[in-house]
Amino acid sequence: MDIKSYKQKKKRGLSVRQVIESALNDVDQLDSIVIVAKYDNNNIATGYSGDNNVELAGLCEFVKAELVELIAEE
């Protein structure tokens, strides 16, 4: 594990690398995926793959709801 990943894991619980590796471990079982990435220079990029755009938007809303719940628990 590199220094950046180590610091992320210590601060956040999981590093970016760990999240991506976890998804890659399950890649054969994935049907759809949505990725939002923020780079060190604060640029934001998105990527997605799925047959149903409404479902992809729903996945984004699902993540949003989970994050709002986590914030409320703090």
pLDDT tens figures, 16-50: 889 999 999 999 999 999 999 999 999 999 999 99
Q: Is the Cβ–Cβ distance between 38 and 44 less than 8 Å?
A: yes
pLDDT above 80 for 13: no
Give the pair of three-digit tokens for residue 30: 């994935």
Instruction: Match 């890649």 to its residue by tokens.
Output: 27
CB of 30 within 8 A of CB of 23?
Answer: yes
Domain ranges of the chain: 3-73
Tell me the average pLDDT across 63-68. 96
Q: What is the pTM for the complete model shown?
A: 0.75
What confidence tier does 3 reach under pLDDT thresholds 50, 70, 90? Answer: confident
Residue with tokens 């993540």: 63
